[in-house]
């Protein structure tokens, strides 16, 4: 059969949100789950479109619309780079169905082509809601231009290639460096965290530098992002401002790097897979290393070991916690008064201190290992049935890592935020209590959603931690809550957080009561 790689690509794309399963399943629950996932993706795309329109209007109002396409390409490329780093190389190499796929009558190059195409298309689908609305705004304000349309379209199609190849190559290089170390998982996690922290700290530094020096106008943001951060976008800008060869240079660099990556990938694919999946030599067994403990504590320990078993899974599951700590560190060196420097009059920072818990909600919802803990059990979930534990104890054990990481990070951020924004005593109390209660609720809600919408047929743990419905509901639910709490908190003070706290307590108790009456997991 010709074009087998296209068939493999189709199967993988249909399996991302269980569209293929919903198509043939007789169970209405599976179909509703798939429709819900598609609805969430549509909402996310709508939010991205709104942000793109707002930024594009700012560019056009300031008379720099000619630079807008290059800016949009830089934004999508950088986000592709960050998310590809979070995903790591395990989505391409260490798939659970590797042995099954490699036994198919398909060439290795076709398997690689299908998987790379899936990654490319997912990144391109993110770029479209950013670029298309912005381009429409540009044409509506500055007039239509066929040349601008052609350059923007070509740059958009090519934009995922370079960051995708660089991110996967860096992840594979980290794997190769640590492959023969005894504690390779720990080293991979440390190196991946350093790489991720470096990118995010650079992003925060750029934002604060712009705020300090340029007053956050669009020309300053464009200059920093395009000319100082993502230089390939300069080639797109050169074409739009009169240098025709810029887009061809951009295309040549993108295609050349991607082609080189594919050539190297074909040569070392199996070796990288073996390095990712091989078990390192363990320590010699000693009787004195045996420790006794309860079944409950052993289950909690198992959840932590699973969390640290893969750098890709760890970064996706705890990205919000990491960003929360970075934000706290950044606030130490940032003077909040500069945000109001252009107002021309003194502003009481304590009025804005009540926004702190709202900002914490945004990040806490991004980190929820509990939202994927049940799904990651896979076929081994039957082992939980024989444990001398109740369903509620199992659920609480699976939520423990989420709360243990989110609550301290939230407290650290809240303390720094309250200090920098000169919060009063009531704000201190409300912010700290709200962050802790919301961390507990978010962990329990993640497990509840995972129980209702499990995804047991995953091929890579990163897929569950990144693309499953429970994770998306937690992320965007907390995003909406945080966006609401920030302005309402500034206006009304502690009242909005009192309502959130009461709701968190009530829902948390309701979830615990619900699980106390459940006996087993779904066997779908």
Domain boundaries, the chain: 32-279, 293-524
Report the candidate in 302, 284, 274 with the shortest Cα–Cα distance to residue 175: 274
Instruction: Show the 3-state SS of 100-115.
Output: HHHCCCCCHHHHHHHH
In tens digits, what is the pLDDT along the chain, a chain of 524 residues? Answer: 456 667 777 766 666 666 666 666 666 666 666 776 677 677 777 878 887 888 888 888 877 878 888 888 888 888 888 777 766 666 666 555 566 666 666 776 677 777 778 788 888 888 888 888 888 888 888 888 888 888 888 888 888 888 888 887 777 776 666 656 555 555 556 655 665 556 555 555 544 444 444 444 667 677 777 777 788 888 888 888 877 788 888 888 888 888 888 777 777 766 666 665 555 444 454 555 555 667 777 778 888 888 777 666 777 778 788 888 888 887 887 777 666 554 445 556 677 888 888 889 988 988 888 888 887 776 666 676 667 777 788 888 888 888 999 999 999 999 988 888 888 888 899 999 999 999 999 999 988 888 887 777 666 666 676 667 788 888 888 888 888 888 888 888 888 889 999 999 999 999 988 888 776 555 44
Nearest Cα neighbor of 476 from 362, 316, 358, 374 is 362
pLDDT on residue 259 = 83
Quick one: pLDDT at residue 1? 47
pTM of the model as a whole: 0.66
- Structure confidence at residue 507 (pLDDT): 92
Residue 409 and residue 339 in contact, taking contact as beta carbons nearer than 8 Å: no
> Is 363:324 a contact under the CB 8 Å cutoff?
yes
Q: What b/e string do you get for 152-162 counting C-beta neighbours within 10 Å, with b at 16 or more? A: bebbbbbbbbb
> Environment class of residue 110 by beta-carbon count within 10 Å: exposed (0-12), middle (13-18) or buried (19+)?
middle
**Which two tokens mark 509?**
């108790």
Residue 213 confidence (pLDDT) = 45
Alpha helix stretches (DSSP H) within 215-294: 218-222, 232-240, 245-277
pLDDT recorded at residue 265: 75
Q: How many residues does the chain have?
A: 524
């Amino acid at each position: 059969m010709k074009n087998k790689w296209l068939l493999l690509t189709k199967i993988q794309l249909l399996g991302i949100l269980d569209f293929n399963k919903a198509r043939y399943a007789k169970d209405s629950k599976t179909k509703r789950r798939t429709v819900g996932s598609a609805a969430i993706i549509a909402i996310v795309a709508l939010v991205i479109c709104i942000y793109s329109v707002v930024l594009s209007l700012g560019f056009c109002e300031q008379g720099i619309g000619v630079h807008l396409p290059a800016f949009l390409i830089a934004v999508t490329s950088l986000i592709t780079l960050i998310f590809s780093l979070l995903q790591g190389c395990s989505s391409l190499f260490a798939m659970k169905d590797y042995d099954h796929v490699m036994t198919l009558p398909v060439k290795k190059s076709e398997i690689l082509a299908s998987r790379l195409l899936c990654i490319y298309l997912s990144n391109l689908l993110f770029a479209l809601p950013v670029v298309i609305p912005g381009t429409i705004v540009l044409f509506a304000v500055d007039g239509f231009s066929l040349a601008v349309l052609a350059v923007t379209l070509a740059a958009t199609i090519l934009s995922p290639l370079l960051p995708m190849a660089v991110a996967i190559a860096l992840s594979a290089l980290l794997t190769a460096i640590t492959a023969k170390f005894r504690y390779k998982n720990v080293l991979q996690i440390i190196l991946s965290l350093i790489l991720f922290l470096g990118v995010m700290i650079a992003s925060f530094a750029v934002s604060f530098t712009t705020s300090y020096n340029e007053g956050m106008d669009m020309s300053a943001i464009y200059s920093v992002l395009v000319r100082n951060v993502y230089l390939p976008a300069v080639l797109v800008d050169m074409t739009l401002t009169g240098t025709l060869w810029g887009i061809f240079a951009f295309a040549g660099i993108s295609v050349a790097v991607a082609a080189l990556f594919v050539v190297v990938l074909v040569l070392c694919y199996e070796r990288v897979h073996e390095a990712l999946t091989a078990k390192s030599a363990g320590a010699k067994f000693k009787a004195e290393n045996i420790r006794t403990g309860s079944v409950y504590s052993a289950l909690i320990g198992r959840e932590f070991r699973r969390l640290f078993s893969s750098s890709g899974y760890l970064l996706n599951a705890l990205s919000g916690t990491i960003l929360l700590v970075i934000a706290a560190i950044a606030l130490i060196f940032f003077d909040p008064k500069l945000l109001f420097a252009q107002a021309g009059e003194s502003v009481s920072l304590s009025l804005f201190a009540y926004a702190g818990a709202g900002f914490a909600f945004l990040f806490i919802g991004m980190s929820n290992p509990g939202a994927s803990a049940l799904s990651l059990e896979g076929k081994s979930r039957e082992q939980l049935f024989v444990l001398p534990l109740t369903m509620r104890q199992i659920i609480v054990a699976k939520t423990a890592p989420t709360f243990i990481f989110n609550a301290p990070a939230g407290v650290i951020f809240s303390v720094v935020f309250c200090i920098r924004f000169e919060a009063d005593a009531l704000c201190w109390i409300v912010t700290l209590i709200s962050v802790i209660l919301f961390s507990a609720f978010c962990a329990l809600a993640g497990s509840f959603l995972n129980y209702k919408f499990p995804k047991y047929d995953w091929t890579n743990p990163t897929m569950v931690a990144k693309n499953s419905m429970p994770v998306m509901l937690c992320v965007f639910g907390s995003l909406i809550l945080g966006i609401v709490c920030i302005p309402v908190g500034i206006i009304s003070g502690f009242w909005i957080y009192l309502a959130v706290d009461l709701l968190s307590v009530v829902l948390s108790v309701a979830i615990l009561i619900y699980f106390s009456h459940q006996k087993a997991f779904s066997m779908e």
